[in-house]
Structure 1
Amino acid sequence: YEPVAMQECRREINESLVASNRFSTTVMRKEQHNLRNHFEALCKRLGAMIECVEPVTRGGCGDKAAVMMLRFITVGFSRFIVPWLFKI
């Protein structure tokens, strides 16, 4: 079902990657004036990606797989965000 999710959610996935890269660049450049907006955009785009991918995963692979995917995303997001917050 991964190819199905990738096809159906391509736009949301790409937009979340763009937002992630933009946020990373903002932090690395210490652009405090853009930080809040880019963080909010990252959260919004990641949320849209999850809303698209989760039903495909749940429908094709079941509840346990969907919960595991959501946990994986949460852990990945936490590992990505927390180190950046300490660089600010």
Structure 2
Amino acid sequence: MSKPFRTWNDIKGELDYASETKKKTISFAAHLASTILKRQYSQNINLTDLANKAGVNAREIEELKRDDVIPSFDLLIKLAIALNVEFDIK
């Protein structure tokens, strides 16, 4: 039985990048987007409430679920703050 969606691990192996830095940037954005969506789901926060709390457009949050969109870090940071997502920068 096939998976209902493609994961980042499925996608990243198929992509070709101009540089290793670009690959790592996209990987970090994808990981953060995934964490944000999981947190939204676990806290049972609807799209409109999250958009209002973060001060962003609900459409931008919906686009996080698409595998052909690379979200801006500005959007990811606003959502992470709104959801109290903590992360370590090393």
Q: TM-score range by the shorter chain?
A: 0.3 to 0.5
Larger fraction in helix? 1
TM-score normalised by L of structure 1: 0.37
The higher relative CO (CA closer than 8 Å, separation ≥ 6) is in 1
TM-score normalised by L of structure 2: 0.36
